[in-house]
Structure 1
Amino acid sequence: MGDWTKLTAADGHELSAYVATPSEPPTGAVIVLQEIFGINAYVRSVVDGYAKDGFLVIAPALFDRYERGLELKYEGEDQKKAFELYAKLDPKLELQDIAAAYEFVQKAGKGIGVVGFCYGGFLSWLTATRGEQYGMKPDCVVGYYAGGIGKVAKEQPSCPVMLHFGAEDTHIGQDQIDAVREAHPDVEIYIYEGAGHAFNRDVHPPSYNEGAARTARARTLEFLKTHIS
C-alpha cells in the first residue's frame, strides 16, 4: 500500500518518508513518528494500518540526518546502534523534518494528526507544544510511551493530546506521567495494566501486549476521527 518519497526540510536537508494513501479520498492526514529503530517493517505496518482506516499517512525518516535507510531490529548490535543514535538526536532538527512531512500532507487540505511511539511519542508532544515555531499546528496529537515527556510537561500544547503508557513500563517513571497530569488536567492519559514499554509493537513478542494495543488503537482511532475527519 505504501511507497517512498523525498522531503526537504527548511534547512535544506533531504530525507525519505514512507507514505500510504487510502483507497478512497482521505478523511484526514496522520504523521507517524518512529521509535529509535528507523522506518522499519513495524513502522510501515502502522502507516499502512491508518491508511486502511481512511487517512493519508506519512512517516518521515528522522534518522536520515545520521544514516540513511536505517531499519533496525530490537536486539543485539542493532539495539546498541539504536541507542547510540538516540544519544545524537536533537529535537530542533527532528521538528524540522516533521514540519517537512506536515507540509507534504497539508496539501491534501484535510485535518492533520500526529501519532508517535517512544521517542516519536516525545516528539509528538513537542509537535503540539513547539510546532507553531516550525509552521505546524496539528489538530490533535497522540503519544505512545513518550519517554522524557516529564521534563517538558509544563509546555503548553496547541491542540488536544492523548497519551498511552504501560503500567509496567520500566523506562518511564510515574513521576513523568504525574507531571503531565498536574500541568494539563485536560490531556487524555491512559494507563494499561500488565503492559510494559513498546506494548504496541506487535512484531516483537517480548514487548507486545495484545489487549493494551487493541484498546489503545481503538481510542486513538476515535480521537483522530473526532478531531481530523
Structure 2
Amino acid sequence: MRIHKEGYAIIAVAILIWALLNGLVWETREPYFFVFMLLISTPVLALTIRFFRYPEREINSGDKTILAPADGQIVTIEETTETEYFQDRRLQVSVFMSLFNVHVNWLPVAGKIKYVKHHNGRYMSAYLPKSSTDNERTTTVVEMEDGTEILVRQIAGAMAKRVVTYANEGDTMEQGGELGFIKFGSRVDVFLPVGTEVTADMCEAVTGRQTILARLK
C-alpha cells in the first residue's frame, strides 16, 4: 500500500496543522485538554492519510470484459440517453464511492482515448442521478481495438472539489490503466452499448480493476 501523489500536499498540510494545533494546546499546560485534542485530531489525520491510499492490485483483464473503474457500490444499472457524446441510448452502470473507499479511478477497457472534456458544475451528492449531468465532472471516451466506444464519466460529489484526469486525447492506454482521482466523495458512470451483458448487481460492492461489471457481446 502506498500514498497516491494527489495526496502529498494535502497530507503535508494536514500533518502541519495537526502538529501546530497540538503544540499550541500543549503550551496551555492543560494535560486533559491536550489528551482530548490528541484523541480528536489524530483520527482525523489518520483518515485523511487513509483516503489517499493507493493499493497494489492484479488486473483482472480480458478483451470483452468491462472492469469496475473504481471501488464502491453499484447505484445505477439502466438504459438511458447519453447526451454529451453519443447522443443515443446507452446502458449506464454507476459506481458510488464513499469517503471510506479508495478514490483512484481506472480505465475499464483498453484502447485509444478519443475524447476528454472537463465540465465545471455543482456539488450535489454523487449518489443522486442528476449529479451525472449537473455536478463537476470529466468525460472520457475510449475506443477499443474493435471500434467499440466506452464512455467513462468521473463525477465530483458533495464534498469533492476537484476531478483529476490523466488521460489525454490520442493516448493509447491499457485496461486498468490509471484514469485519474476524485478528491473526497464521488461517483463514476460507465456508458456501454445497449445489449451489453451486465454481470454486476445493484447495490453490489465492487473493487476497481478487479470486479467485472459487464461483458461485451
Answer 1 or 2: which has greater strand percent: 2
Name which structure has the greater RCO, CA cutoff 8 Å, separation 6+. Answer: 2
Q: TM-score normalized by structure 2?
A: 0.26
Q: TM-score, normalised by structure 1?
A: 0.25
Structure exhibiting the larger radius of gyration computed from Cα positions: 2
